[in-house]
Chains A and B, each alone.
Chain A
Amino acid sequence: MLSIMVPLYFTLIAFMPTSRSKEFITGAKATIPMIIGAIPFGIIFGTLAESSGLSMWGAMAMSLFVYAGSSQFIALGLLATGVSPIIIIGTTFVVNLRHLLYATALVDKVKHLSQGWRFLLAFGLTDESFAVVNTRYSDGTDNSRAHWFFLGSIVAMYGNWQLCTWLGIGLGELFPDMTHWGLDFAMSVTFLGIVIPYLRTKPMWLAVISAAIFAMALRELPHQLGLVIAAVFGICIGYASQQIGLRLKPPTPPSPSNKGAAHNE
């Protein structure tokens, strides 16, 4: 895998005029902390696949075409309990709805690009690349070539994800009892790390705590329905308490922008 990725990367760079390749490389470099965080995550996905009932090729195809870490993990969890593909697809949709927020935040920056460019950038719009790219677009420098930065971030993140999935599949074959080591905690702690910077306002705290309580209380419901209901409740409670808070305050100009982008490093 590495033997394909590395020459491809340099070929790509070689054919770009300097300012573009500069942006591309800067984007890839800015994504390095996210890549380090994703390494255990990707490896563990690969090792868990087989014991959850997903074939080696299924695991690789999921990383190649779905390319969404958290929903790939949830799909494994659901597969292990033997639910139907329809339920897994539906849950993937709900869990990934947050990407709509990321796209909404970035659409003004990419709307001048060709449909092909927008297609490519949308495919790679993960939590990690969003965090990095959103920072780039709001740093006040010239954005006319920032889509190359965006692409650099995606290529680096995507290449790493494929490599780690493949590595995890191999390690899972070598050490079949690896799944009992409890390394699934890497996903929990990564998500915990992503949630923490959001916790800056009372409504956000309320939303997160109530979603967590509902998720635990409703976990016996079939088909991960508890997760979906808990998320909806959490969002409603957060939004409602925000509205109540707004009403109590003296009228100030509203600032709806960039609320969700609060987790930039």
Chain B
Amino acid sequence: MNEAIMIAGMALVTFSVRYVMFAMAGRIVFPVWFKHALAYVPPVVLSAIIAPLILMPKGYLDISLANPYFWAALVAAIVGFWRQHLLTTIIVGMIAFILLKWITS
């Protein structure tokens, strides 16, 4: 029951955010400062999500060789800046992670 309420709520808020602008069809005009600030939302939220996952997988800051999350992310970032290609970044990062995890285990 709790699960159904949670999923319905998540669906409702997600759809509302996606639909409100389309529903009003341009009748909502945001101030310029708001549009500028909005441009920072996607990368900021995504990096706030992944930073603790990559740098603190055990709950404390860990950039030792025993943390494959950090080193694989570093490899992926270098490839990402170099190639600027999403799929390559993901695949190289995953391979690096699997190799590092295998070596350190």
Binding site for B on A (CB under 8 A): 33-34, 36-37, 40, 54-55, 58, 61-62, 65-68, 70-71, 74-75, 85-86, 88-89, 92-104, 106-108, 110-111, 115, 118-119, 121-123, 125, 127, 181-182, 184-199, 203-204, 207-208, 211-216, 219, 227, 230-231, 234-236, 238-239, 242, 254, 256, 259-260, 263, 265
B26 touches A68 (CB 8 A): no
B30 touches A227 (CB 8 A): no
B22 touches A260 (CB 8 A): no
Given that A99-B14, A188-B73, A235-B40 are contacting pairs, would A193 and B25 also be in contact in the complex, using a CB cutoff of 8 Å? no
B46 proximal to A (CB < 8 A)? yes
Bound form: Cα–Cα A191–B76 in Å: 11
Bound form: Cα–Cα A254–B35 in Å: 13
Of A100, A189, A199, which contacts B38 at CB under 8 A? A100
Bound form: Cα–Cα A208–B36 in Å: 15
What number of A-B contacts does a CB cutoff of 8 Å give?
255
Chain B residues within 8 Å of A34, by CB? 86
Chain B residues within 8 Å of A211, by CB? 44-45, 47-48, 51
Given that A68-B14, A260-B39 are contacting pairs, would A189 and B94 also be in contact in the complex, using a CB cutoff of 8 Å? yes
B44 touches A101 (CB 8 A): no
Could you list 6 A-B pairs, sorted by A, with CB under 8 Å?
A89-B6, A100-B38, A190-B90, A194-B46, A196-B77, A208-B47
Of B15, B22, B45, B50, which contacts A107 at CB under 8 A? B22
B66 proximal to A (CB < 8 A)? no
Bound form: Cα–Cα A198–B38 in Å: 13
Contacts A103-B19, A234-B47 known; list 11 others, CB within 8 Å.
A75-B10, A98-B45, A181-B101, A182-B69, A186-B94, A193-B90, A194-B42, A203-B40, A208-B47, A215-B51, A259-B36
A54 touches B21 (CB 8 A): no
| Interface of B, helix, strand, loop or mixed by DSSP | helix
Q: How far is the CB of A192 from chain B (nearest CB, A)?
A: 6
Bound form: Cα–Cα A33–B25 in Å: 30
| Interface of A, helix, strand, loop or mixed by DSSP | helix
Bound form: Cα–Cα A264–B101 in Å: 32
Chain B residues within 8 Å of A71, by CB? 10, 14
